[in-house]
Amino acid sequence: MHPSPDPAGPGEESVWDYPRPPRLEPVRQRLRVVFAGLTVADTREGFRVLETSHPPTYYCPPSALAPGLLGPPRRAGICEWKGRAVLFDLTAGGRVAQGAAWAYPDPTPGFRPIANYVAVYAGAMDACYVDDERVVPQPGGFYGGWITRAIRGPFKGGPGTMGW
């Protein structure tokens, strides 16, 4: 049982209208990640994954990331939709954010376009932006969605939402 969706107005999206299994779509908005006072990722060639009850998760091409930013990959969990993930530490400006980024080196067929694209936990960064809007991290520490003003919840991830 899930909660009642917040009403979505013109130009807004409800996460309760997102599909399950999730949908992958390209985005042309500028995606920008700031860590340790430095812009560590910047692209207009990203993707977003839309899944019921989750704010979008954004993926940047490897070419959009600052050189030397990612540590060696280590095995992470398995997503029932995308496949096995790898986790990375991010290092920049003398700071390290452990396990703050992930990728799918060999995703399932429906998610092949994001092979080796990198997503980051917004809460571990100084700031993440979609165009010029600073995002709010998805609640909780497990999921990596980015919340903008145009996204309506409630969102999975916070206390009491794991059973949704």
Whole-number pLDDT of residue 152: 97
CATH of region 13-147: 2.170.150.40
Whole-number pLDDT of residue 142: 86
Structure tokens at 153: 């919840």
Residue 1 has pLDDT above 90, yes or no: no
Whole-number pLDDT of residue 14: 98
Whole-number pLDDT of residue 163: 80
Structure tokens at 123: 């809460």
CB neighbours of 43 closer than 8 A, spacing ≥ 6?
A: 30, 31, 60, 61, 63, 64
- CA-based nearest residue to 57, from 37, 80, 78, 31: 31
CA 51 to chain CA mean position, Å: 11
Chain segment 115-163, per-residue pLDDT in tens: 999 999 999 999 999 999 999 999 998 899 999 999 999 999 988 888 8
What is the phi/psi pair of residue 23, to 5°? Answer: -110, 140
With cut-offs at 50, 70 and 90, classify the pLDDT of residue 95. very high
CB neighbours of 117 closer than 8 A, spacing ≥ 6?
A: 46, 47, 59, 60, 61, 62, 103, 104
With cut-offs at 50, 70 and 90, classify the pLDDT of residue 164. confident
Instruction: List beta partners, residue 48.
Output: 25, 58
Whole-number pLDDT of residue 3: 87
Chain segment 11-68, per-residue pLDDT in tens: 999 999 999 999 999 999 999 999 999 999 999 999 999 999 999 999 999 999 999 9
Q: Where are the domains of the chain?
A: 13-147
